[in-house]
Every structure is written in C-alpha cells, then in structure tokens.
Amino acid sequence: MIVAGFLGSPRQGGNTEILLDAALAAAAGAGAEAEKIRLWALDFSGCIECEDCYATGVCTQEDEMEGVYELLERADRILVASPIFFMGLPAQAKAMIDRCQCYWAQKYLLEEDFPHQGSARRYGAFIGVGGTRGEKLYDGTILTLKYFFDAIAAEPLTNEYVLVRGVDDKGDIEDHAGALEAAASLGRLLAEKE
C-alpha cells in the first residue's frame, strides 16, 4: 500500500506541511509506505495546452513532472495538502493538476484505463488550510479536486477531507484544536481502507 502525499504549499515547514507529515506518519504507522513530494522543490511548469497528449495520453513536456507522474501511477492513495490562495489552490498545486491533462486524455479521448501499477483500490483525499473562515473557502478547490481525482482514477473521500479555517501564521496549526488528530486519522484511514 503506497500513500503519496503532494505538498501544494510553497512555504516549507508551514501549517500545511505539518498536517501532511502527521497524516503520512500515521499512514506509515498503520503499515503503508508513505511518500511525500514537495511541489515547490520541483522544476516544472503548468500545462502549455499543446494537445500532444490527446493523441498519445502522454505529456511531452520534459521536466521534473516526470517524477510526479511516476508516483501518481505507483500510489494507491493520493493525498493532496494545500493552503488556499485567493479561494483556490496555489500555483504549484494547480500546475501539477493541470499537467494531469494527459490522464484526462487517456480516459476520455483514448478510452484507456489509468496506468495504475498497484493492486489496491485507489482513493484521493485532501488536507486544506485556510487563513480565513469563509463558508465557501473550499468550494472551488473541492470541485477542482473532484475532477483531478476522476482523471487519475481515484475515488474522492470527500467526507474525510481535513479542512481547517482561521490558521495563517507559520506554526499556528500546532495550537488548532483537533487538526493534527484529524490529519493523523485521515492518514490511518488511507492506509487501512479497503
């Protein structure tokens, strides 16, 4: 069982990464192999809409997104962790999702299955951290993730998403009641769910 965590935050060691680390540690503690990719550390750009993938199902841009594709195809569980910028995902996370247009092309244009190399059922989950407390803070992001998870053949565990509001300063998540426990619970669920 491989649980892959994708850090969408550009802030190293921030609130989002603290929660992602708690989730991945709990997944590992439950017997899964946990891997983390810090998207800010990779050299890749967004989709250039060249449409090469429409004919092949493969992205032809050559950059460090290749490692992301490799992990997406090996992993049984996909966990995206991200802060919210202007009511949506930051550029690093959105660029990764946009570059998965090749998987959309595989599924909807070429009618091919997602090239999952594992044997377990695939699930997708989300950890979100927002500085504001707005009721609609996560609406746009959840919709984006719905279509991302569809393209990569992962069933979204929407009811299990960890959505934290009112956390802004670096490290504040440590004092946010229940957030670390919720992230750990999500990690265990991802490792144990059949």
Segment 130-133 long-range contacts (CB within 8 Å, at least 24 positions apart): 130/83, 130/84, 130/163, 130/164, 130/165, 130/166, 130/167, 131/83, 131/84, 131/166, 131/167, 131/168, 132/84, 132/165, 132/166, 133/165, 133/166
Sort 89 into a burial class: Cβ within 10 Å, 0-12 / 13-18 / 19+.
Answer: buried
Under the banding of pLDDT at 50, 70 and 90, the label for residue 94 is very high
How many C-beta atoms surround the C-beta of residue 109 within 10 A?
Answer: 13
Looking at residue 191, its pLDDT comes to 96
Whole-structure pTM value:
0.95
Instruction: Dump pLDDT digits (tens) for 116-166.
Output: 887 778 999 999 999 988 899 999 999 999 999 999 999 999 999 999 999
Q: How many domains does the chain have?
A: 1
Domain span holding position 25: 2-192
Give me the count of residues in the chain.
Answer: 194
Integer-rounded Cα Rg, in Å, for the chain is 16
Domain at 131, CATH number: 3.40.50.360
172 DSSP 8-state letter:
G
| Best CA proximity match to 76, nearest among 123, 109, 39, 114 | 123
Instruction: Dump pLDDT digits (tens) for 38-72.
Output: 999 999 999 999 999 999 999 999 999 999 999 99
Q: What is the rounded average pLDDT of the residues 73-98?
A: 96
